[in-house]
Amino acid sequence: MKTSIQIEVRPTEIDVMGHVNNAKYLEYMEWSREDWYNRMELPFDVFTDMGVGTVTVNININYRKEALLGQKLTVSTEPLCKGRTSYVLKHEICNEEGELVADAEVTSVTIDLKKRKSVELPEKLAKAFT
């Protein structure tokens, strides 16, 4: 399932170049990713109750167009692919004109919270990729 959130660029997110600082795009994507988990009925406490955590292990991001102060952005998240212990979520950030501002593929791994070792994807998470 693809989900999306709406945000407005705030003054604290602008760098000396007058556009959104590169690190903020990752934060926007994280907010969208958390929304995706919640809509999939997999909020943080559900993972914790299973003794499982998710760890981001790789981010490949493309910065396509400047985002400026006050712009309204749509940040989307959708499942891309899964392995035995890892999975990839795709993010896109678009401006009000529908132009692609940034996109990324974020790879995460599920881990046993006590052993701190990777474990198979919980069934409920794996089903999100079918």
Cα 89–chain centre separation: 7
Q: Which of 15, 35, 49, 112 is catalytic?
A: 15
Residue 15 annotated among the catalytic residues of the structure: yes
Catalytic residue list: 15
